[in-house]
Structure 1
Amino acid sequence: MKLAILGSGMIVHDFLSMVEQLPDIELKAIVGTERSQEKLANLQKDYQIEQRFTDFNACLAESQIDTVYVALPNHLHYEYAKKALMHGKHVICEKPFTLSLDQFLELKEIALAKELVLVEAITNQYLANYREIKTGLADLGEIKIIECNYSQYSSRYDAFKEGTILPAFNPKMGGGALMDINIYNIHFAIGLLGKPQEVQYVANIEKGIDTSGVLIMNYPDTKVVCIGAKDSTSAIRSTIQGNQGAIVVNGATNVIDSFDKQLKGATSQSVDVKVHAHRMFEEFKEFTRMIAEHDMVAVKTQLIHSQSVMEVLVQALDYAGIALG
């Protein structure tokens, strides 16, 4: 993978901290604004990135670059992912894919028509501990309840309360608890059960944005509750309850550091089969493989999953009366 990184925020720093352990990824470029030049220059130096650009079009003109990692604020994902696809580049897009289903479907159509890899960077779908949960789900019998709680007081919430609206709480920029933090819970549940029959989202709304909320997904025999909060804090964990046992995930659904499995009549078992300490390692290893092998079957499978998540997000926002963008 000959990669151009679009952005210089926290997620980019997180990615770059482990990328040297993926030797098949070549850091060809980093792209940002004129205001971020000092930050870009430091990242370029620290991680030996070949080029830096403030002009995205100039970056896209580089034939040696085959993939763009869109790690920008949510409201910019669609515009920049589309431009990269139109220039024949594979695209790895941070979550949430886009702010609307129509935007997602357009990107999907372009990518498939051009036989380009288009994937959402959503860590939990690629983690070994998550795959282990999926493999052993049948051991729990009939799944009755799934509850995911990812509640973490945001350092930006105090500023928001005082009137400073940063991207994380800006509806025009695709902010809010659902899109920023609860989305991991949604991916977690849909990856296990598929698309639900019915969606409800009951949210605490301030200044037009959800600062916390409870999403309910209804399946024929299973009820799923996803809690996400940026205005309050609680123990971060998830539970999967079946009539033959339960699984308790320790920590956030974007990390799945380990989990406990308790089957009826058996001793609780602690499970941790992760292959790397960094949560982004496994997803980028798989993205590299997809691109190297041009595995469009895997791409289409992941796009189906991402589309289900996008449909749930749109239904949830509509239910709560929240308008983004």
Structure 2
Amino acid sequence: MKLAILGAGMIVKDFLSMIHDIPEIELTAIMGTPNDLERMQEFQKENQIGKIYTDIAECLKDPEVDTVYVALPNFLHYKFAKLALEAGKNVICEKPFTLNTFQLEELSNLAQTKKLILVEAITNQYLNNYRSLKSDLSKLGSLKVIECNYSQYSHRYDAFLAGTILPAFDPKKGGGALMDLNIYNIHFIVGLLGAPKTVHYYANVSRGIDTSGVLVLEYPEVKVVCIAAKDCSAEVTSTIQGNLGSIVVDEPTNVLDNYEIHLNGESAQVVDNKAHSHRMYEEFVTFNKMIEQHDLIEAQKRMKHSLDVMKVVDSALSDSGIKLG
């Protein structure tokens, strides 16, 4: 993979901290705004990135780039992923993939037409610990109740209360607790159980955006509650309960460093099968393999999951009266 990174924010810094452990991925270019230039120059020096661009058109014309990693703010994902696909580049896009299902279906159709790889960078779906947890669900017997809580007080919330609307709380820019935090819980659950039967979102809405909320997903035999908050905090934990025991994840659902199995009448068992200490490693190993092998079938399988997640997002936003973009 010859990669161009779009963006110069914290997610890019985090990505660069582990990408050198995958030598098959060549950091061909990085693109940002002129205001990002100093930071991009630092990234280039520290990480041997080939070229710096401040013009997306010039970046996408680069014949040495075959794949683009869209690591920009939420509301820019659709626009820049579409530009990259139109330029004939494979696309890895940060979560949330887009702001709605209509946008994602358009990108998916475009990728299929051009026979390009288009995937969402959503860590939990690629973690060995997630696959292991999914396999261990059978030990719990009949699943009954699942609760996921990913709440952390945002330092941007004080500015929001003071009247300064930053992207994290801006409905026009795809902000809010659902898109920032609960999206990980949705991926976690849909990856385990598939698409839910019904969706309800009970959100605390201020100035048109959800600062926190409770998402209820109903399955034929299982009831799921996904909590996320940016206006308050709590212990970040997820519990999957069955009639024979439970599985507990005492971390965010995008990290899943390990988990505990608590079977009725038995001592807790800690499970850790991770391949790497960094949560993004396993997904990018998979993306590189997918692109090297031009595995369109695997890409479509991953797209089906992302579309199921985005339909949950659509239903949640509609249920709570929130309009993004």
What is the TM-score when the length of structure 2 is the normalising length? 0.99
Instruction: Give runs of aligned pairs for residues 203-282 of structure 1, distance below 5 A.
Output: 203-282=203-282
Question: Does residue 179 of the first structure (1) align with residue 191 of the second (2)?
Answer: no
- Give the aligned residue type for 2:317: L
Looking at structure 2, the residues matched to 316 and 210 of structure 1 have their Cα atoms a distance apart, in angstroms, of: 11
2:280 and 2:190 mapped to 1: Cα distance? Answer: 20
Letter in 2 for 1:245: G
Counterpart check, 1:193 vs 2:193:
yes
2:135 is matched with which residue? 135
1:263 is displaced (CA, Å) by: 1.6
SS in 1 for 2:147: strand
Measure the CA separation in 1 of the matches of 2:68 and 2:273: 30
Structure 2: distance between partners of 1:193 and 1:307: 14
Residues 166-225 of structure 1: CA deviation (Å, up to 9, x unaligned): 100000000000000010000000000000010000001111100000000000000010
Which residue matches 2:80?
Answer: 80
How far apart, in 2, do the equivalents of 1:124 and 1:155 lie? 25
Aligned residues: 325
CA RMSD for the aligned pairs?
Answer: 0.7
Deviations along 1:270-310, one digit per CA (max 9) or x if unpaired, are: 11111111010000010001001111121111100000000
Deviation of 1:77 (Å): 0.3
Question: Which is further off, 290-299 or 211-220?
Answer: 290-299
Question: 1:250 deviation in Å?
Answer: 1.6
Deviation, 1:265, is 3.0
Extract unaligned runs of 5+ from structure 1.
none
* 1:35-114 mapped onto 2 (5 Å cutoff): 35-114=35-114
CA drift at 1:136: 1.1
For residues 312 and 210 of structure 1, what CA distance do their matches in structure 2 show?
A: 16
How far 1:266 moved relative to its partner? 2.3
Q: Distance in 1 between matches of 2:139 and 2:182?
A: 27
Distance 2:266 2:43 in 1: 50
Query: What secondary structure, in the 3-state scheme, does the structure 2 residue paired with 1:14 have?
Result: helix
Instruction: Specify the code of the residue in structure 2 equivalent to 1:161.
Output: L
CA distance in 2, matches of 1:234, 1:171: 24
Separation in 1 of the partners of 2:125 and 2:100? 21
Matches of 1:254 and 1:115 in 2, distance apart?
29
1:228 Cα offset (Å):
0.4
Report how far residue 314 of structure 1 moved: 0.5
Q: In 1, Cα distance between the equivalents of 2:154 and 2:257?
A: 21
* Aligned AA (1:131): R
Q: Once the two structures are aligned, what percentage of the paired residues are identical? A: 59
1:32-57 CA-partner distances (Å, limit 9, x unpaired) = 01111111111111111000001111
The equivalent of 1:11 in structure 2 is 11
Deviation string 1:69-122 (CA, Å, 9 cap, x unpaired) is 000000000000001001110000000011111100000001111111100000
Identify the residue that residue 309 of structure 1 maps to in structure 2: 309
Distance 1:29 1:282 in 2: 22
**Which amino acid in the other structure matches residue 162 of structure 2?**
E
SS at match of 1:266: coil
- The residue number in structure 2 matching 1:295 is 295
Alignment correspondent of 2:319: 319
Any unmatched runs of 5+ in structure 2?
none
**Equivalent-residue separation in structure 2 for 1:16 and 1:248 (angstroms):** 30
- Counterpart-to-counterpart distance in 1, 2:13 and 2:266: 43
CA-CA distance at 1:264 after TM superposition? 2.2
Amino acid at match of 1:63: P
